[in-house]
Amino acid sequence: MAKDVIIACDFDGAEKTLAFLDLFNDRKPFVKIGMELFYSAGPDIVRKVKERGHKVFLDLKLHDIPNTVRKSMAVLTNLGADILDLHAGGTISMMKAGLEGVCQRVGARPLLIAITQLTSTDEESMQRDLLIERPIADVVSHYALNAKIAGLDGIVCSPLEADKVHKTCGKDFLTITPGIRFEDGEKGDQKRVMTPTAARQAGSDYIVVGRPITAAEDPVAAYLRCVKEFLGE
């Protein structure tokens, strides 16, 4: 299975995003398009980034009634993204409905991934705000198992949980891990973080890196540093 570094392009418009991607000549990075960019630039941004030769993780984190998720996933699948996601908190039936939507595509379907707990959520805020009183590692493993039961391809989780998820759900169940920071970098609002090197050692399949690359003085150098640390290239 291909491991890779995915850049979170959290920009507020197509122009900024395409100008940023123009910096990358030799190696076309895997790109994550999230809510901010999708809502500001519209669905066409997915087609434009794909046309430039990038793989796309369309990170819209769907969470709604199963019927709405099924139909929305079918629409998003037609945009040509390589990875789509939804919240495991929507229950197994919602995840199954999402997979049905994705499978309506003729030919290769995108990977469908579940969000467990956001990496900005720590155990204290999960217990206090959501009244989920179990340890966060148990909650993530349980949500991961639910995603596997629903037939999904993997989960988004903290790199701190990647190893446990592989032990629970199997080594082929994908772990996509944000919350990545360089040893010498700012943490920002992320609470549970790891370096690219540590994420590789922990068994992450894909790392998602935003500000450490997009806000770097030299984004290409920061990206290549991530690739080197994570993939050993």
Catalytic residue list = 61
Q: Which of 5, 17, 34, 204 binds ligand C5P (CB under 6 A)?
A: 34
Q: Is 90 in the site for ligand C5P (CB under 6 A)?
A: no
Name the strand (E) or helix (H) holding 51.
Answer: helix 44-51
Q: Which of 45, 49, 88, 115 binds ligand C5P (CB under 6 A)?
A: 115
Q: Which of 190, 192, 206, 223 binds ligand C5P (CB under 6 A)?
A: 190
Binding to ligand C5P (CB under 6 A) within 119-148 occurs at 119
Nearest-angstrom CA–CA distance, 91 and 168: 18
Nearer to ligand C5P, 62 or 115 (CB): 115
Question: Per the structure block, which two tokens stand in for 21?
Answer: 């991607």
Nearer to ligand C5P, 78 or 160 (CB): 160
Q: Is 210 in the site for ligand C5P (CB under 6 A)?
A: yes
E-strand spans in 88-183? 111-115, 154-156, 174-177
Sort 15 into a burial class: Cβ within 10 Å, 0-12 / 13-18 / 19+. Answer: exposed
**Core vs surface per residue 201-223: b (16+ CB within 10 A) or e:** ebbbbbbbbbbbbbebeebeebb
- Site residues, ligand C5P (CB under 6 A): 8, 10, 34, 115, 118-119, 156, 178-179, 188, 190, 208-212
